């Protein structure tokens, strides 16, 4: 490990340069640095709670080979500016983390806990996007299992490209719908909606079905909020569409 200053808790302006490093039990809430140059990082039980993870933290999530975060705390942290390029998270906590609009298309999550609002996030079962061919190590699937969403509010959050829902823990109750054979259900439901009387309800329902097909890519099984503020259709139409999708294959 080489660095211009001797440790993560440095005066503002410090530039820390690390080659291949394993960092354990580091409280980054107390760390003061302007730039952290990192080749490869393995973070064990490190604390990022409440931090805004912006540009100076970006190197933590873009290493090649990838960084691995194990048993780290991101509770209350703002990760909206972070793009985890192939990063692996194991047994990490994301309670009340700001993830709005997050698309960690090349990241892996294993036995992590999510709680609070998880809004407009897309988790993927396969590496996706222009960086998918550059991840190190290369892989055809993202490891995504054992994650706990029971205390999360999944607002327009989707799990696509082959994520196995049976390997995760989900919120239960009437607020959520979980369906298998989703593409078949969409096709059948669209045919049914086309028989509705022409009007606003039919227009909203068709638009909702089209949006669902685009949002849930290559996914046989889904879980979603029955009524979502992210859906433009009225509450009445959303309920009607989900009721239809639930029974259309009966």
CA 18 to chain centre: 28
Q: Which of 110, 140, 171 is the last residue of a domain?
A: 171
* CATH number of the domain that residue 109 is part of: 2.160.20
Model pTM score: 0.87
Same domain, residue pair 53 and 114: yes
Tell me the per-residue pLDDT of 17-56, one tens digit each, with 9 for 90 and over: 455 567 899 899 987 766 656 656 789 999 999 999 988 8
The continuous run of DSSP H or E covering 88 comes out as strand 88-90
Q: What percent of the chain has pLDDT over 90?
A: 70
Rounded Cα distance between 173 and 111, Å, is: 22
- pLDDT higher for 2 or 94? 94
Q: What percent of the chain has pLDDT over 70?
A: 88
What is the SS3 assignment for 167? helix
Same domain, residue pair 17 and 117: yes
What is the SS3 assignment for 185? helix
Enter the tokens of residue 108.
């892996």
Residue 223: predicted pLDDT: 97
Same domain, residue pair 8 and 55: yes
Closest Cα partner for 106 from 93, 88, 80?
Answer: 88
Same domain, residue pair 159 and 180: no
Tell me the residue range of the domain where 219 lies. 174-250
Tell me the per-residue pLDDT of 72-82, one tens digit each, with 9 for 90 and over: 999 999 999 99
Tell me the per-residue pLDDT of 197-247, one tens digit each, with 9 for 90 and over: 999 999 999 999 999 999 998 899 999 999 998 899 999 999 999 999 999
pLDDT bin (cut points 50, 70, 90) of residue 16 is: very low
Sequential DSSP letters for 103-162:
--TT-EEES-EEEEEEES-EEESS--STTTTS-SS--SS--EES-EEEEEEEES-EEESS
Phi, psi dihedral angles at 158 (to 5 degrees): -125, 155
Enter the tokens of residue 138.
């290369």
Same domain, residue pair 127 and 182: no
Phi, psi dihedral angles at 43 (to 5 degrees): -110, 125
Q: Are the C-beta atoms of 140 and 103 separated by less than 8 Å?
A: no
Same domain, residue pair 211 and 226: yes
Enter the tokens of residue 65.
């080979």
Q: Which of 108, 143, 171 is the last residue of a domain?
A: 171
The radius of gyration of the chain's CA atoms, rounded to the nearest angstrom, is 21
């Amino acid at each position: 490990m080489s660095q211009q200053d001797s440790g993560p808790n440095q005066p503002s302006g410090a530039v820390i340069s690390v080659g291949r490093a394993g960092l354990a039990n580091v409280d980054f809430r107390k760390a003061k640095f302007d730039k952290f140059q990192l080749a490869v990082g393995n973070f064990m039980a490190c604390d990022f709670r409440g931090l805004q993870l912006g540009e100076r933290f970006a190197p933590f999530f873009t290493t090649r080979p990838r960084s691995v975060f194990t048993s780290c705390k991101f509770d209350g942290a703002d990760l909206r500016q972070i793009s985890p390029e192939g990063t692996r998270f194991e047994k990490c906590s994301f309670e009340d983390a700001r993830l709005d609009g997050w698309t960690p298309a090349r990241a892996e999550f294993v036995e992590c806990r999510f709680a609070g609002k998880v809004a407009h996030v897309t988790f993927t079962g396969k590496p996706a996007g222009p960086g998918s061919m550059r991840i190190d190590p290369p892989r055809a699937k993202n490891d995504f299992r054992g994650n706990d969403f029971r205390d999360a509010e999944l607002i327009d959050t989707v799990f696509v490209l082959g994520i196995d829902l049976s390997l995760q823990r989900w919120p239960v109750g009437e607020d959520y719908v979980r369906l298998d054979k989703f593409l078949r259900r969409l096709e059948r439901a669209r045919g049914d909606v086309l028989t509705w009387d022409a009007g606003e309800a039919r227009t909203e329902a068709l638009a909702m079905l089209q949006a669902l097909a685009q949002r849930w890519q290559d996914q046989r099984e889904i879980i979603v909020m029955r009524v979502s503020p992210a859906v433009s259709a009225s509450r009445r139409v959303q309920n009607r569409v989900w009721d239809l999708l639930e029974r259309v294959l009966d």
